[in-house]
Amino acid sequence: MKVSDKVQVLRGVGDVFADKLRAMGIDTLSDLLDYFPREYNDYSQIDPIDSVEPGMVTIEATISDVKGRYVRRGLHITEASAHDKTGSLRVVWFNQPYRAKSIQPGQAYYLSGDFQLRRQRFSLQNPIIEQVSDTTVHTARIVPVYRESRGITSVQIRKLIDQCQSLIKTSLETLPQSVLQATALSPRAEALQQIHFPDSSKQLQEARHRFGFEEVFQLTLASLLNKYELMQDTAVSVPFESSVAQSIVQNLPFDLTEDQRKSAWRIYQDMQKTQPMNRLLEGDVGSGKTVVAAMATAMAIKHGFQVALMAPTEILARQHEVTMRSLLAPLGMDKQIGLLTGSLSTKQKKQLHQQITDNQLHCIIGTHALISDAVTMHNLGLVIVDEQHRFGVEQRHKLQKTVGYMPHVLHMTATPIPRSLALTLYGELDISVLAQKPAGRKPVETTIHSPNSRAQLYTEVEQGLREGRQLFVVCPLIEDSEMLKAQSATEVYKRLKQKDLKSWRIGLLHGKLSQEQKTAVMQEFLEHKLDVLVSTTVIEVGVDVPNATMMIIESADRFGLAQIHQLRGRVGRSEQQSYCYLVLSDSKRPSRRIRAVADMSDGFRLAELDLELRGPGAIYGTYQHGALDLRVASLTDTELIASARNAAQDFIDSGQDLLQYEHLYSRVQSLRSVTNLQ
């Protein structure tokens, strides 16, 4: 067998089974070996029968008196007796009629299962069973548990990987020898064996450390290579002129925070260089990123350069246009702003394209329509990308090609990213953080509610509606689902409109509406032609309605921690006290993460907690980038991250040719295309 062989070369894998595996991302034997366990069950301690306690146990016993029967329609029970030198116990399998024929009476087996009291009798329930040998796969050891799908179980995956033992032992190394020697990591073949079939907890930990290190090493190498490549490009210099910055600041209705001042100054310093700026402006919801972006925009326009501001949605693009016009009006630059979106008529687009080509417009705001072939910017000096993780490689290259050089790029995100995550994923970026909130902004009061308390909750929000405020109601689903017990937007909309809030003007917003419909509904809410907006998470990013001071999040336990915080950021955008009500799916005690959202308003602390609760691998959550998810490395393991980052830097500094490491080169090239924008 070769790692490049299709999985059909393995026993028991026909075309149908292969299709199911392919749907899980397993097409070749290489894919199979790289399909790492998500967790482990420790069945390595084998207890004599007379000492077993209730709970998960493993015994070595001889099986006898195996009988199967149907006790009622649809329920089959297989019973047997297991005994060793110390005693015997009852074994029961439910709905596994094949067990009676597969067990050989008098044969010694390992059995791992739940020993519990059922109908006043103790028995070993649904145990995994395997003949005693030195090479068990499913019992009497630390047993891997894999992500499963319909028709594919962990037992089946273990059997397939067990057939690949010879391939595991001869696996080629994927890290440079210099890195292995400097870090004392396990060789790949040894680590692969231990991650699938660990001999001990210590060896499993060493294997996971090796693969976690490798993931961060590859990711860091990709981002550093991007950064060094970017440093070779040339950009236009945008000189700093203090009067421009002062004109904006003096006309603001509030004082800049210290974070805003520092970030703006760093951006101005970057833009003066002939090396392209590549900076991430990271700020929690309501921290004032747009003001900093406007200060950079004004400086570029003052010196005759064009600025492209790209947003992920038309709703957000329209909001940026309104905000930019108000911020740049004191400098007389508001007439030089244009909005280019997909919903404009052909005539309107043609007119805007001509104005851009003729350099009549200096700040062009839009969605991906900004990078269509029809848009020609001859003097593009600055690109601002809002919600940078939603903007890909090809888009950036298109913008670069229009002017023949690399413009300065400022990325903005309202997703709080823990420092360990930011350094690992965005190593090619310089990072500015807006941690402070503008003066006068009050934290959103967040409370948790049982689904049975809705009537009381509606009474409370109606008081706010009578005072002229507006309400968001956010649901996890568009329509009802038999699979998920969660509130749907369409059903909540009907209920509120017909019953609970029928006296108020209610709108519905979700992803199945056309772009024109979404924009129209959002505009009605902005203009207070609607009092209540029932929505899915399409409002998560960027929607700014200062008069909306209340939000109900239905089935809040169905949302991720970071996502709830993002949603909550849609209220609390004025000096008015705002409220967020988290309504649970059922009356059970709220989880730790739900309680954390209610107790904390700091998005960065919540993001750290989110990483901790999710555990290794789940790094993105709302970061929108499945291609970068780590399978093993934990981003709370700062020692591992520092070690891997240092090794990546040392590798680059050593001048070694990456091409001599085929697997590493392939992986790094793939990561370079999906990490950030280069």
**Composition of the chain by helix, strand, coil, percent to 5:** 45, 20, 35
Residue-wise pLDDT for 371-411, tens only, equals 766 677 778 899 998 875 445 556 666 666 667 788 898 98
Between CA 360 and CA 354 the distance in angstroms is 9
What stretch of H or E contains 490?
Answer: helix 489-495
Residue-wise pLDDT for 436-468, tens only, equals 777 767 888 999 999 888 889 999 999 999 999
User: Which of the pair, 394 or 357, is modelled with greater confidence?
Assistant: 357
The rounded percent of the chain whose pLDDT value lies above 70 is: 90
The rounded percent of the chain whose pLDDT value lies above 90 is: 54
Predicted confidence at residue 306, as pLDDT, reads: 93
Predicted confidence at residue 53, as pLDDT, reads: 93
**Identity at 228, one-letter amino acid code:** Y
Residue 588 has pLDDT above 50, yes or no: yes
How is 381-431 classified by DSSP, letter by letter? EEEEEESGGG--HHHHHHHHHHHTS--EEEEEE-S---HHHHHHH-TTSEE
Residue 480 has pLDDT above 80, yes or no: no
Calculate mean pLDDT across residues 482-490. Answer: 69
Residue-wise pLDDT for 358-375, tens only, equals 888 999 999 877 776 667
DSSP state of 497: I
Give the best-scoring range by mean pLDDT among 517-531, 557-571, 598-612: 517-531
* pTM over 0.85, yes/no: no
Q: pLDDT band for position 616 (50/70/90)?
A: very low
Give the best-scoring range by mean pLDDT among 385-389, 470-474, 587-591, 618-622: 470-474
Q: pLDDT band for position 60 (50/70/90)?
A: very high
Strands 39-42 and 142-145, how do they pair?
A: antiparallel
Domains and CATH numbers, the chain: 1-41+153-165 (no CATH), 45-140 (2.40.50.140), 242-272+288-413 (3.40.50.300), 445-600 (3.40.50.300)
Predicted confidence at residue 585, as pLDDT, reads: 86
Residue-wise pLDDT for 296-333, tens only, equals 999 999 999 999 998 887 878 888 998 899 999 999 99
Q: Other C-beta atoms within 10 Å of 335: how many? A: 12
Mean pLDDT of the chain: 87
Our CA angle for 302, 306, 307, nearest 5°, is 100
User: Which of the pair, 112 or 253, is modelled with greater confidence?
Assistant: 112
Q: pLDDT band for position 419 (50/70/90)?
A: low
Give the best-scoring range by mean pLDDT among 106-115, 390-399, 598-607: 106-115
Distances from the Cα of 623 to the Cαs of 418, 523, 620, in angstroms?
12, 27, 5
Q: pLDDT band for position 233 (50/70/90)?
A: confident
Between CA 294 and CA 274 the distance in angstroms is 21
Strands 408-413 and 278-283, how do they pair?
A: parallel
Q: pLDDT band for position 485 (50/70/90)?
A: low
Upper half-sphere CA count for residue 256 (Cβ side, 13 Å): 22
Predicted confidence at residue 226, as pLDDT, reads: 82
**Identity at 38, one-letter amino acid code:** R
Between CA 227 and CA 30 the distance in angstroms is 31
How is 617-651 classified by DSSP, letter by letter? T---GGG--GGG--SS--TT-HHHHHHHHHHHHHH
What would the two tokens of residue 163 be? Answer: 């057939």
Predicted confidence at residue 126, as pLDDT, reads: 94
Least confident interval from 1-10, 108-117, 391-400: 391-400
Residue-wise pLDDT for 184-225, tens only, equals 999 999 999 999 999 999 999 999 999 999 999 998 898 888
